[in-house]
Amino acid sequence: MSPPPQSSLAVLRRLAPYARPVRGRLLGSGAAALGAMLAGLCIPLMIQRIVDGPLAHRDRSSLLVLSLAVLALGVVEAGLLYLRRAMGARPTTEIEKRMRADLYHHLQQLPVAFHDRWQSGQLLSRAISDLSTIRRFVAFSGLFLVVNVLTVLIGMAVLLVIAPALGALAVIMAIPLVVLCGRYEQRYRLAARRAQDQVGDLATTVGEAALGIRVLKSFGQGPRATQAFLKHAGELRRTELTKVGVLATLWALIIALPELTLAAMLALGGYQVATGSLSLGTVIGAITVLTYLRWPLESLGWLLADAGNAAAATARYWEVRDTAVTVADPPRPQAPGQPVRGGLRIEAVHFRFPGATADVLQGVDLNVRPGETMALVGATGSGKTTLTALVPRLADVTSGRILIDGVDVRDLALAELRTLVATAFEDPVLFSASVRENVALGAPQACDDDVRRALRIAHAETFVDALPWGLDTRIGEQGLTLSGGQRQRLALARAVIGHPAVLVLDDPLSALDVHTEAEVEAALRRVLHGVTALVVAHRPSTVQLADRVALLADGRIAAVGTHSELLAEVPEYRRLLSTVDARAVTR
């Protein structure tokens, strides 16, 4: 998933659109930080004047004035540092908030195929830890990287002015420092990117183990899951140690070179004082300037490391944001036909998964009349679920078209289309929210009466009322506090609450026991009256809901007719249902 490496600066430039609206406050924060550093840099110059002036001439009055000036510079430095933090907190958290909101919105727009390919842990790490890394960089590391470099340059210029020989020595010693910093920063950034990817892998492993804890326990696979976790954790540890090694070398160089420079300046400055070519105050001032520059110089190590982390985090963020939204609103959406009748027509539809070499659907033609219930039957892997996903545009057809009341679904606004079409999946997904909120996802403006009507249709009202707080009972993550049949019935209620014109049911009865299945079927017969429905049938009992049945084979519709007609005339259909007593579902 990692793209070709770019320079840190090129990657970090992509933060500019988010920084632009708050650039005034960011620049103000940076100016305050630079002002604080310059105020601190002025203190060595004041010390030079004290040594060469009042101390050399025993002038007590001047000593007091200059000492108060040093105190004033210290107060100004502290005040500006406080102002820097006060001005920088709000804009940087605003940048993080906007980036996180844009990422989440983009994830909602991306097609289902994208989410099938990407691990949830990788997306989670980008939305949380990577954005926190970027915020810290913008708030502190990035700002002080610029401020400290400017401070070092200004300090070097001051040294060249007050003591040219000592300043030239400092500049000469700084050149290898700059070269080595650039070299090691690149190595650190590559290691940081690898570590952040491994954090995503580790988060995926933990998330999957948490969701599948019942399976792991029931099969006694806890130790194997632990080994998988330890494998990812070990890889992350090795990468982190690589980062530590690179950073340790960088820090050693950054600390050693200024120390060598300081020793050389003491030797050269002492010699010049001894020969009378330089004053003692000037040497003390130059050495104090270099001592003041030690923190800006030493901080370059971890500031560059933070820049590498932020560049890797930014690259990972834009990997997702740069993914094209292939299922989107048309430039000029059409209105659905009026009155809405719900006629569904599938014409010459082909579909191929991204990266695949063959079509799953190969010219599917199917006409579901308004108010008709069509069962879709086929062997496992024949493309039934794929076909139903194309109706609400969870994916788009590769070629051909799907029409509702004569309007291509790609010409409808997505919000309009998904109001017309409701879906209940074979694997019901519930959220950690109340029963009311889970059901009302199908119609956000629904009142309690609408929710209860949908629950009655799905034969769920009785068990919901028996829950501790009824509609307000909070369902656990993934609805695992409920039985499979209860989850399925809530998902079914969510599908019918919005009075859709087209109802797509992906075998929603698969998790129900025989008694409950019969009751839900009876309720569904009432709601399916007058509603166009496409029902994926994996078991013959589901066919009872349908007016007609379509047999899907080899990516095409092989036959269409009533259940009795297909049993009598289509051998492949008979073979498909041969494992059960076909007479039990004969109309």
C-beta of residue 503 within 8 angstroms of C-beta of residue 531: yes
What average pLDDT does the structure give for the chain? 83
Task: Indicate if 344-427+502-585 has the same CATH topology as 15-321.
Answer: no
In this prediction, residue 235 carries a pLDDT of 87
SS3 323: coil
DSSP-derived letter for residue 581 is -
Per-residue pLDDT, 211: 65
| pTM score of the predicted model | 0.77
Class of domain 15-321: mainly alpha
Per domain, the residue ranges of the chain are 15-321, 344-427+502-585
The SS3 of residue 227 is helix
State how far the Cα of 292 lies from the Cα of 279, in Å rounded to an integer: 20
Looking at residue 581, what is its pLDDT? Answer: 44
Cα separations in angstroms, 221 against 205, 228, 477, 514: 14, 11, 22, 32
Contact of 551 with 377, CB cutoff 8 Å:
yes
Which residue is it, tokens 């078209």?
A: 401
- Which fold is adopted by the domain 344-427+502-585? Rossmann fold (3.40.50)
Task: Express the helix, strand and coil content of the chain in percent, nearest 5 each.
Answer: 65, 10, 25
- Quickly tell me which residue has 């769920």 as its tokens: 460
Length of the chain counted residue by residue: 587
Cβ(84)–Cβ(29) below 8 Å? yes
Residues of the chain with pLDDT under 70: 1-6, 56, 59, 182, 185, 210-219, 477-480, 508-527, 579-587
Query: pLDDT tens for residues 178-233?
Result: 777 767 767 777 787 888 788 888 877 877 776 666 666 665 777 877 888 888 88
Angle between helices 222-275 and 164-211 (to 10 degrees): 170
Q: Are 122 and 340 in contact (CB under 8 A)?
A: no
Chain segment 138-151, per-residue pLDDT in tens: 888 888 888 888 88
